[in-house]
Amino acid sequence: MITIIPAIDIIDGQCVRLTQGDYDQKSVYSSSPADVAKSFEDVGLQRIHLVDLEGAKASEPRNLRVLEQVATRTDLDIEWGGGIKSTESLRRVLDAGADRAICGSVAVSHPELIELWISEFSPERIILGADVRDGRVATHGWLQESQINASQLIERFISSGLSQAIVTDISRDGMLAGPAFELYVALQQEFPNVEVTASGGISNMDDVRRLDAQGTRSVIVGKALYENKITLKEIEKWLLQNG
């Protein structure tokens, strides 16, 4: 069964959502991300996706207090992204309570660091983040564009033991228009030993069911939850039926 991972994006300690990664198109949903995380745990979800949007722009974590609060108040498996550009910042994130660290921009600018971290911290704790716009990987809070695609980025770390990758289609993120189904089928087939997580565009539970049916192993759900396109009751029912 596909793993549903609810997302909490953080700016100024608040739970927010951006549209297509645009910091000027921000909606605030809650002043307490820890409360939101607890509501996810209460319906049976086990993993959560936390993104420090300020950290992504600043190249260092800026909202670790939120991470500590979520880790203290829940037993969720926490994956954290945003601002992890050095071994020091990675250690700070893990020490603050993250179970897994998402490394995106640094994978493009300093791939040798990802190889080192996978070796030192284990493949289970390091997630490759590939944020894609028009086929190319974007970095630094989606503000810069590289010259490689998601497949090339994942391939770069296969020999190092990479086991997890989150691939976000930026053009679909926050648009509730459905995910890039074909992209995730192709990547999962190309890299059968990597858990490829679908991210961006999830609009309803039918999208989740289709991803599940095609073999996608995990999916991040964000705006659809906050706009009640997917309800916690629907997720709870799904978990009970498929648990």
Instruction: For 129, list phi and psi in degrees, rounded to 5.
Output: -105, 120
Instruction: With beta carbons less than 8 A apart as the criterion, state whether 126 and 154 touch.
Output: no
Chain-centre distance for alpha carbon 176: 16
Closest by Cα among 127, 219, 212 to 172: 219
Contacts of 175 (CB under 8 A, 6+ apart): 19, 20, 201
Q: How far is residue 104 from each of residues 11, 39, 78, 150, 237, measured CA to CA in Å?
A: 18, 28, 17, 11, 33
Q: Pairing between strand 47-52 and 77-81?
A: parallel
Q: Structure tokens of 201?
A: 């565009």
Quick check: is 131 catalytic? yes
CA-CA-CA-CA torsion sign (101, 132, 160, 158): positive
Catalytic residue among 9, 52, 169, 212: 9
Quick check: is 99 catalytic? no
Catalytic residue among 131, 169, 173, 207: 131
What are the residue numbers of the active site? 9, 131
